[in-house]
A = this chain, B = another copy of it.
Amino acid sequence: MELLPDWVTGFVDGEGCFYVGINRHPEMTVGFQVLPEFRVVQHKNDIQILYALKRFFGFGIVCKNHDDRFEFRVRKLDSLLKICEFFNRHPLKTKKAIEFKRFQRILHWMKGKKHLTIEGLVKITETAQTMNRADSQALQQIMKELKEKTG
């Protein structure tokens, strides 16, 4: 099955997710790890669509999500930046475009290694807090700890 670029944008407008996780990671200088992720989740009956997306982009993996659901997932920074290039050429039409802009901003900060500094991590956490599906309580706690570090 071959996918067309505009179809991919329409499908991602409906089913895609731009997510930025921030996890505690004691081995890192700043104490936290930033984990951006692009994913599309489908019922197992439509797993072939996820493989078609993987072929379309030329990277990412297809793996189990929960129960009967599978996901196409991209986590590598280089690949995520290519995802951004794609959606800049074929813009999202729903409010997901706003999520995407925030996601892209965080990726560019990461490319500039800003996530390895407290100041950068504060900006990333602030942006992540404005995104959908954000775990607001966890991010609030992280923000508090980061503010304490900067004194």
Instruction: Specify the main secondary structure of chain A where it touches its partner.
Output: helix
Interface status of A4 (Cβ within 8 A of chain B): yes
Chain B residues within an 8 Å CB radius of A4: 6
B residues within 8 A CB of A9? 7, 10
Copies in the complex: 2
Q: Is A1 an interface residue (CB 8 A)?
A: yes
Residue A35 at the chain B interface, CB threshold 8 Å: no
Smallest CB separation, A86 vs chain B (Å): 13
Binds B, one of A45-53, A61-69, A72-80: A45-53
Residues of A participating in the B interface, judged by any CB pair closer than 8 Å: 1, 3-15, 42, 45-46, 49, 52, 93-95
Per CB-CB distance, the 4 closest pairs between chain A and chain B, nearest first, are A14-B14, A10-B10, A6-B6, A10-B11
16 A-B pairs whose Cβ atoms sit less than 8 Å apart in the complex: A4-B6, A5-B6, A6-B6, A6-B7, A7-B10, A8-B10, A9-B10, A10-B11, A10-B12, A10-B14, A11-B11, A11-B14, A14-B15, A45-B95, A46-B95, A52-B93
